[in-house]
Amino acid sequence: MPQALRAKLKATRRAVQIEITKENYEAFCDAIGLYQKEFLQALDASEKDHQAKRTTKRKSLRELIP
């Protein structure tokens, strides 16, 4: 059964800040999909690219949006 998450939220016009406890961290990661097999495989591939120096310097993550 999924664990209910408790978090403090702060929202502005431009951002949302979420504060969770250390005890809820694992449940939070599970809820947003950080433990999914595909995500973990993408992390492994990214680490291999980084070690092989196949990286691209970016000024902003907005450069990734087409």
Q: Considering the domain boundaries, does residue 23 fall inside one? A: yes
What local confidence, expressed as pLDDT, does residue 3 receive? 58
- Are the C-beta atoms of 35 and 54 separated by less than 8 Å? no
**HSE-CB of 47 using CA atoms within 13 angstroms:** 6
Q: Considering the domain boundaries, does residue 40 fall inside one? A: yes
Higher-pLDDT residue of 4 and 16 is 16
User: What six digits make up the tokens of 23?
Assistant: 């005890």
Q: Name the residue type at position 29.
A: C
What local confidence, expressed as pLDDT, does residue 2 receive? 56
Q: Does residue 48 sit in helix, strand or coil?
A: helix
**Full-model pTM:** 0.50
Q: Considering the domain boundaries, does residue 24 fall inside one? A: yes
What local confidence, expressed as pLDDT, does residue 49 receive? 94
Q: Considering the domain boundaries, does residue 61 fall inside one? A: no
Q: Considering the domain boundaries, does residue 3 fall inside one? A: no
Q: Considering the domain boundaries, does residue 62 fall inside one? A: no
**Structural domain tally of the chain?**
1
Provide the pLDDT confidence category of residue 4 given band limits of 50, 70 and 90.
low
Q: Which domain holds residue 28?
A: 8-56
